[in-house]
């Protein structure tokens, strides 16, 4: 065992995935550390309360900290959507705590790679409005506002533009967009009707998923970004597949045949000989 550890260290191999959070045993773990449901984060950035095209759902909330590249992309893309289709507001829910870890109401959101995005909304007559909150949209794209008789309609044009820009932004690398199946179908029907590139449609259908272990996400879009190549080396781990269109992850050095044979020859210590194994008779003890 000691020989293998020594060989790995000599090759510069790391064991970032062995730890779920920065510890004195692994002081090099920084950024997004561990899994989305069992990790932490360092060096996070707080999402502003509001900006061009976006606003926080909880202006005074404490859990709006995320990876710098995610916060930057959210503010940039919200502004781009506003410039192309003026009048909408991207209402942004929780990201993570400043140092990550568990936050109320979420099983994940622990490593700064998750964020809840409320759906762009329209009045039934088609006027853009800020989302009234986490309202549940039916398969027809309509939702009733709790505590009233008012309805809102899913803004497919802005919502698809948001999805499209997220998928085309290489700085973040979308891993999942958790959304209910009926709302995914509405978005994909809209994309097909617009004649969007088939490769983009394929990527959108690949990352959009109704989760099987939580609510269907018919009241918001849950964005999770993948670990970047640099984050992977610094302790970021998993949370879903790493899609083939994302930037390639760093590869460790190839092990030549001589090194593999040396590792295979490193047997553990021989077990201590027992009386039965050595053929010695029992001394009569009970």
Q: Has residue 100 been placed in a domain?
A: yes
Q: Which of the given ranges, 13-22, 76-85, 207-216, has the highest pLDDT on average?
A: 76-85
Burial of 154 (0-12, 13-18, 19+ CB in 10 A): buried
Give the predicted TM-score (pTM) of the model. 0.81
**Percent of the chain with pLDDT strictly greater than 90:** 70
Average pLDDT score, the chain: 86
Residue 56: beta bridge partners? Answer: 92
pLDDT of residue 215: 86
Q: Has residue 105 been placed in a domain?
A: yes
User: Rounded to an integer, what distance in angstroms lies between the CA atom of residue 165 and that of residue 202?
Assistant: 15
229 has pLDDT over 50: yes
Mean pLDDT of 239-243: 92
Q: Has residue 71 been placed in a domain?
A: yes
SS3 state at 28:
coil
The CATH code of the domain that includes 92 is 3.30.1380.10
Mean pLDDT of 140-154: 93
Q: How far is CA 164 from its chain centroid?
A: 17
Burial of 211 (0-12, 13-18, 19+ CB in 10 A): middle
- For residue range 148-182, list pLDDT tens digits in order: 889 999 999 999 999 999 999 988 999 999 999 99
272 has pLDDT over 80: no
pLDDT of residue 256: 73
* Residues shown for the chain: 286
Q: Has residue 7 been placed in a domain?
A: no
Q: Has residue 11 been placed in a domain?
A: no
Mean pLDDT of 209-218: 90
pLDDT of residue 262: 76
Mean pLDDT of 233-241: 89
pLDDT class of 260 with cuts at 50, 70, 90: confident
Residue 58, domain extent: 30-233
**Percent of the chain with pLDDT strictly greater than 70:** 82
Here the tokens at position 50 are 């509001």
134 has pLDDT over 80: yes
Q: Has residue 19 been placed in a domain?
A: no
User: Rounded to an integer, what distance in angstroms lies between the CA atom of residue 92 and that of residue 57?
Assistant: 5
How many CA within 13 A on the CB side of residue 188? 20
Q: Could you count the other beta carbons within 10 Å of the beta carbon of residue 124? A: 10
137 has pLDDT over 70: yes
Q: Has residue 250 been placed in a domain?
A: no
Q: Has residue 52 been placed in a domain?
A: yes
Mean pLDDT of 235-239: 89
How many structural domains comprise the chain? 1
């Amino acid at each position: 065992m000691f020989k293998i550890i020594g060989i790995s260290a000599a090759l510069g191999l790391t064991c970032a995935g062995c730890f779920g959070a920065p510890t004195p045993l692994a002081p090099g773990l920084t950024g997004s550390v561990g899994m989305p449901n069992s990790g932490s984060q360092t060096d996070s950035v707080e999402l502003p309360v509001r900006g061009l095209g976006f606003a926080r759902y909880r202006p005074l909330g404490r859990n709006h900290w995320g990876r710098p590249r995610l916060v930057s992309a959210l503010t940039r893309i919200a502004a781009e959507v506003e410039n192309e289709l003026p009048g909408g507001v991207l209402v942004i829910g929780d990201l993570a705590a400043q140092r990550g870890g568990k936050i109320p109401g979420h099983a994940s959101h622990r490593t700064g790679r998750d964020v809840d995005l409320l759906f762009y909304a329209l009045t039934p007559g088609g006027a853009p409005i800020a989302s009234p909150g986490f309202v549940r949209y039916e398969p027809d794209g309509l939702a009733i506002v709790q505590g009233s008789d008012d309805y809102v309609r899913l803004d497919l044009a802005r919502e698809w533009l948001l999805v499209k820009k997220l998928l085309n932004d290489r700085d973040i690398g979308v891993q999942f967009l958790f959304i209910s199946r009926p709302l995914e179908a509405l978005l994909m029907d809209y994309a097909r009707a617009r004649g969007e590139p088939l490769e983009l449609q394929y990527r959108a259908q690949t990352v959009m998923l109704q989760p099987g272990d939580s609510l269907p996400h018919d009241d918001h879009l849950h964005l999770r970004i993948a670990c970047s190549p640099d984050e992977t080396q610094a302790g970021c781990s998993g949370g879903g597949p790493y899609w083939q269109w994302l930037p390639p992850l760093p590869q460790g050095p190839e092990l030549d045949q001589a090194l593999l044979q040396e590792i295979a020859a490193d047997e553990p210590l021989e077990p201590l000989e027992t009386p039965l194994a050595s053929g010695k008779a029992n001394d009569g003890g009970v």
